[in-house]
Amino acid sequence: MSRSSESTVPTVGTVTVSYSELKESNIDLSGKIEQGFGPNGLGILSVKDVPGYSALRQNLLGLAPRLAGLPEEVKRELEDEHSRYNFGWSHGKEKLESGKLDMLKGSFYANPLQDVPTTNSFEIQRYPWYCGSNIWPRNSLPELEGAFKALGNLMFEVGLMVAYHCDQYVSKGKKQPEKQNLEKILLGSRCHKGRLLYYFPAQDSTTHDNDSISSWCGWHTDHGSLTGLTRAIFSRNSVEVACPDSGAGLYIQTRSGQIVKVVYGEDEIAYQIGETTAVLSRGSLCATPHCVRAPQGEEARGLERSTFALFMQPDWDQKLTFPKEVTSHEDVSLSDNVLTFGEYTEKLLNIYYDTKP
């Protein structure tokens, strides 16, 4: 996907639901779900007033610059080539839209719910990107494990509540409730993945393709079911600062094709729809194309960005039947039509990574 920058891109706030409403299974939130995720929605919805969230976000995001600043040889020990860098530290391994390796950000991947999702050696060989074990910097940054798991678990619990209300919305007007509902699929999965992201500061204004909206993170749709996102923290030498450029941050392409900059409160958790939900809901819930724009100008010098994404995903064995009308990655051949989530992920990894295990 390539979209050039436009000076008239509007800034839009997310549809917001409060935690106290969300946790009530008897409240009908289908109007809010439709507003956020339905055919005319932005494809993002945020949850406010989640008890304990703000401190857990601050704790984890504050560790991202420290992790990225560890000596190269220490970070190398946290890499896992066999999982195609889907556990532990990953920098410069994934390809950007342009086909070049992504040197702009470093990521740390782990399953916040299970350190060892399976001991079955066949599964570990078949799907190492999900079935491998977590790698924690227990000597070099011992605080990371607890902070990552605490935030990941909370965002998962809240995400399950969002999924419950998505199911209610999708099954509205249908005689039979969906057999494979989103909440159940996510509850039974061993495949959830947290990603702590650290965007390195631009050394000079020519490092980034500054004119492009996708200058920090290219246009994509997440391939899982539901992605939880923190609001990012900008910092300089690890000290939090307000972002000097209001144009920097998350952009979304809406269902009608419009590009908007999306904003939500620092104490809100945002959720976006991934491709698998679009497939399983037969398009009632649409996946959300998004990207991140880097700050521009002199003041952007030295500015770093830290954030956390929780990819809530089906189990690796979950069968997905790709209907013709649901668009997915244009560059993946889905001629088989039925793939497990693990197989679908493998096809995407073949596109975004050069190395094979």
Ligand X SMILES: O=C(O)CCC(=O)C(=O)O
Residue ranges binding ligand X (CB under 6 A): 195, 197, 217, 222, 229, 232, 250, 290, 292, 307, 309
Interaction between residue 222 and Fe ion (CB under 5 A):
yes
CB of 307 to ligand X, least distance (A): 5
CB of 220 to Fe ion, least distance (A): 6
Instruction: Give the span between the Cα atoms of 105 and 118, in whole angstroms.
Output: 30
Alpha-carbon distance 180 to 110, whole Å? 26
Q: Is 263 buried (19+), middle (13-18) or exposed (0-12) by CB count in 10 A? A: middle
**What are the backbone dihedrals phi and psi of residue 66, each rounded to the nearest 5 degrees, phi first?**
-70, -40
Partner from ligand X, Fe ion, none contacting 217, C-beta within 5 to 8 A by type: ligand X
What is the distance between the alpha carbons of residues 131 and 111, in angstroms, rounded to a whole number? 10
Q: Which two three-digit tokens encode residue 305?
A: 């960005």
Q: Which residue is nearest to ligand X (CB)?
A: 309
Q: Which is nearer to ligand X, 15 or 229 (CB)?
A: 229
Neighbours of 303 (CB within 10 A): 20
Query: 320 contacts which partner out of ligand X, Fe ion, none, CB within 5 to 8 A by kind?
Result: none
DSSP string spanning 252-263? EE-TTS-EEEEE
Smallest distance, Fe ion to C-beta of residue 10, A: 21
Q: Residue 80 or 222: which CB sits closer to Fe ion?
A: 222
Cβ 230 to ligand X shortest distance, Å: 8
231 binds, among ligand X, Fe ion, none (CB under 5 to 8 A by kind): none
Closest by CA to 270, choosing from 296, 252, 295, is 252
- Of 151 and 250, which has the nearer Cβ to ligand X? 250
CB of 279 closer than 8 Å to CB of 321:
yes
Residue 48 binds which entry of ligand X, Fe ion, none, CB below 5-8 Å type-dependent = none
Kindly tell me which of 141 and 197 has the beta carbon lying closer to Fe ion. Answer: 197
Closest CA to 89 of 102, 108, 72: 108
Select from 32, 20, 52 the least CA-distant residue to 271: 32
273 binds, among ligand X, Fe ion, none (CB under 5 to 8 A by kind): none
Distances from the Cα of 157 to the Cα of 23, 150, 154, 186, angstroms: 10, 11, 5, 10
Residue showing the smallest CB distance to Fe ion in the complex: 222
Q: d(Cα 11, Cα 33) in Å, to the nearest integer?
A: 20
Does residue 80 bind Fe ion (CB under 5 A)? no
Minimum Å gap between C-beta 217 and ligand X is 5
Considering the complex, state which of residue 141 and residue 310 has its C-beta at the smaller distance from Fe ion: 310
Residue 307, binding choice from Fe ion, ligand X, none, Cβ under 5 to 8 Å by partner class: ligand X
**How near is the Cβ of 90 to ligand X at its closest, in Å?**
11
Only one residue has tokens 């209907």, namely 323
Q: Which stretch binds Fe ion (CB under 5 A): 33-41, 98-106, 132-140, 218-226?
A: 218-226
CB 46 within 8 A of CB 15: yes
Binding partner of residue 292 among Fe ion, ligand X, none, CB under 5 to 8 Å per kind?
ligand X
Tell the smallest beta-carbon distance from residue 325 to ligand X (Å).
Answer: 24
Residue 275 interacts with Fe ion (CB under 5 A): yes or no: no
Instruction: Tell me how far, at minimum, the Cβ of 76 lies from Fe ion, in Å.
Output: 26
- Residue 268 φ/ψ region, left for φ over 0, alpha for ψ in the -120 to 50 degree band, beta for the rest: beta
Interaction site with Fe ion (CB under 5 A): 222
